Each structure stands twice: as C-alpha cells, then as structure tokens.
Structure 1
C-alpha cells in the first residue's frame, strides 16, 4: 500500500464492506500528534456516515502500529498552556477509545509493529487484534513519570488479560511480544509481518459475510453484556435484542437458504 505523507490518517476500501483506516506517520512509527488525533476523528466521522461500511480495520503504515505520543514532534511537557487546556486535549485523545468501542460496526486491529502508550490504548479499543510476529505491546507511560492508566488501559487491559498481568505491564512498563500477547489473550492471532494485513482483511470478510444488522447488534450486546451487573440483566438485554433482530428480513433469508442447502447471502 502506498502512503501519502501529507495525510496523517488514510481511509480506503480494500474489500466490499471493509473500511481500512491507516495511521500514516511511518517515519515516526505512526506516533500520535494533534493532527493525527484530528485525522482519526475525521476518519471515524466518515465511516460513521458510510452506510456500506460493515467492518473497520485499523492499522499503521509500514513497520509500526502506533508508538504512542510523539515525544519528538509533539508536546514535550513544557509550554504555557493551562491545566484546563491540557485536560481538554487529553479528553479529545481519549475519546478516540470510546469512539472505537462504540462504533456501530466491529473494529479489527492489524497490529503490524509496536503498539505503545496511546497506540496500545487504540489497539485495546478494537474488538479483535491480529498481531505480526514483530508486534509488541507496551504501557509506555510507566517509564515517563506519568500514570500508566490512559486511553482506557486501566479499564480494558485487566478485562482482557486479568488484573495481575495488567499490573505487571502497568507497573514495570516492559514490552509484551506477540507470542506472549497470544498466550495472554491480548492477541487473537499472530501471523508473519508481510501477511498481517491480508489475514486481518480475510477475518473482516468473514464478518461481512454475516447479516449486517445482526453483527451490529452482536457488537452492542458484547459491549453492554461484558459490563452487565448480573447474568439476569444481560439476559434481559439479549432477549429484547433477539426479538428485535427477528423482525429483520435477514432471518427469513437465512432460513430459506438453510432449507435449500445454500449459504446465506445478505445484501
């Protein structure tokens, strides 16, 4: 894939229903700057209004996923901006995690290299993660004199790997490689670097083969169900959602295809 270095975030449609969002600062391992934050917000705005979008694939250009906040070209800790201004900037950055989690379609991350700091937070915000063998995951702020909890890491990481492993990553700041990430459940699959994007697009195609309304409801239920205070409340949400889904024509399509011995084809 070619990149346009003037655009910090690119959006493309490599396969039907799939929208590929690429963080595009390869010379800095796609590290975060204000223009990149705003570019990613704009990309998500674009996909949110794209009625044909059924899966988002998030990746980084070339050999990195996202190296966290750019300490060379970004903010260096100095300056005259107020605490309120910095807080607003932090909120704008962190809201990307909420947007990815609440996107109406599944988000699959192709982690093609280092995912550090805020970049790790972006990877955690995805529903599914495929990692290249060269990928690594790092809570960078542990070594920068800042809190290790940002970009949803303190919330999302222990839910994926358990509190003990999350504590190890957050307190030590050590990098977790792809093999260890797979064993911890942080990565769904690990593949060769040259194949990670194609493997992610193949997985996305498996999702787009299913009924779009059902997939959207499934994502919503997974997000809400994981935080449901009880099984009973999760079942109430599931039951209502299932009845709602049953009124969609996709169920009739699937039943007719099953009875005919044919695969379901959804529009």
Structure 2
C-alpha cells in the first residue's frame, strides 16, 4: 500500500496502517482531493493482503471537522446538478470503499468528529473515542438532508432508529458519554491513551486470521439486506470456505499442542 499520500498521512508498521488527516490548524477538514485520495486508497486496500488492520486516527486533538467550508461548501453552491451528483457519489464511494476493503478499520476519535468526519467514524468497524470527542451529523445545519453518505441506513443500525433520527434531524452534538451509552463508541479512553488503545486493538486483530476477518467484515455488511434464512445459509458457505484455509489447520494443530496459533492469512 502507498504511504506517500499527498492529502493525508499514512504510516504502515507490523501490518497496521495508521491514517490521519493532516490539517490540524483547521481541525482536519476534508477537501475534494482528500476525499478522492482516501477513496482510492481504500479501494486499493482490497487487493493488498499486507495490511491486516487500519487505524483512522486523530491529529492535533481533533478527528475531522467535515467538508472544508471554503474548499468544498463554497464551490458546491456554484456547481451544476451534474457536478453536484458527481461529488455526492464520490463521497459515497469513500464509504463503499471502506466497507468493501475487507480489512477491519478502527476509528480513534478525539475532539471534533462532525459531518463527513462522523460518517468516516460511522463507516469504521470499531470506534474508540476520548471523553472530549464531540460528534455531530451537521448536514441539516447547512440546509441539507441528514441522508448523507449512507447515514440513514447505517446510523440507525448502530444506535437505533429514534436516536439516529434525533441526531440527523437536529444536527446536535452527541457527547462522548452518549455515544458510548448508545453503542456508537466501543469504549472511551483518556486522550493520552487513545493512540495506544487503538494500536493495541489493531494489533490484536492483525494477529488473528485476516482471511477470516475479511469474511466476517463481508458478512456483517452483506447480511443487512438478507433474510434470516439467507444469512444462515450465507454464513454456512462462508464458514465452509474458511475451514479450507491453512489458518484453520494451524489453529487445530496449535490447540492440540497446547500452543498459541500463528496465523498467516492463507
């Protein structure tokens, strides 16, 4: 995977990629270019087995302040419908790429996590935050609908229909404590411990069977639109495939020898 990214920071170590938006002076807003580069990076990730987990981290005490007011929102007011649709499809394609990359993604949010930043956290598989994290889906605050980048489909599944409706209609801020109680955040940690907590969780995932993790992520996403019977059958097929992997054999042999398995992803 590329680490020479232009519009966000990317570091890869021990199979863990850490991404950070890199405009801390503006609370890390997104631009047209950073949207596109993130989309392309996650699309490429689906073809790269060397990265076993991704941490989308904070920078300068904030996660992401959403679309840049001057670089995105201003120009949008002057675009044609065709241009606007191309933009909204591009932002949705970032979410699709995150969901479809096959690699578990951990959002580690401190401070501001709003607008498209809240969507990036929502589209991640696991979410850790600090008590200072402030999350808001601001779209109605700028005269738009709350249905942005899959929010009306995904947020209710995470926190419930009524809670999601309140946040999406009002654009109000969800406190870190609310987010943890509602299940949006998996847990809260002090700001000084955020990076280590996310890294430790990523390392635990990276040490596991990454083919199995890919299958888990795939089924978590695909089963939204399945009946229970279809989901059970799909999982039967997925698990049978996983049972053909060398990692499954390694796990059995390690268990029999009373050792810890060393998964290799094949």
TM-score (norm 2): 0.93
Structure 1 unaligned residues grouped into runs of 5+: none
State the Cα distance separating 1:62 from its structure 2 match: 1.7
User: How many corresponding residue pairs?
Assistant: 261
In the alignment, is the contact (CA less than 8 A) between 2:43 and 2:101 conserved in 1? no
Distance of aligned partners of 1:106 and 1:115 in 2 relative to their CA distance in 1, 3 Å threshold: same
Per-residue Cα deviation, 1:41-70 (whole angstroms, up to 9, x for no partner) = 243245334321111111232211111111
Per-residue Cα deviation, 1:143-186 (whole angstroms, up to 9, x for no partner) = 11111110111111111111110111111211011111000000
In the alignment, is the contact (CA less than 8 A) between 2:32 and 2:71 conserved in 1? no
Q: State the partner residue of 1:130.
A: 128
State the Cα distance separating 1:77 from its structure 2 match: 5.7
State the Cα distance separating 1:38 from its structure 2 match: 2.2
Report the Cα distance in structure 2 between the residues aligned to 1:39 and 1:25, rounded to whole angstroms: 15
2:244 corresponds to 1:260: no
Structure 2 unaligned residues grouped into runs of 5+: none
Structural RMSD (CA): 1.7
1:137 counterpart SS class: strand
Alignment of 1:89-238 (within 5 A): 89-228=87-226, 230-238=227-235
Q: State the partner residue of 2:36.
A: 38
TM-score (norm 1): 0.92
Per-residue Cα deviation, 1:90-138 (whole angstroms, up to 9, x for no partner) = 1111210111111111111111221111111111100110011111110
Q: State the partner residue of 2:7.
A: 8
Report the Cα distance in structure 1 between the residues aligned to 2:228 and 2:43, rounded to whole angstroms: 34
Q: State the partner residue of 2:63.
A: 65
In the alignment, is the contact (CA less than 8 A) between 1:115 and 1:136 conserved in 2? yes
Q: Which moved more, 1:234-243 or 1:111-120?
A: 111-120
Per-residue Cα deviation, 1:175-231 (whole angstroms, up to 9, x for no partner) = 011111000000001001121121011001111121111111111111122332x21
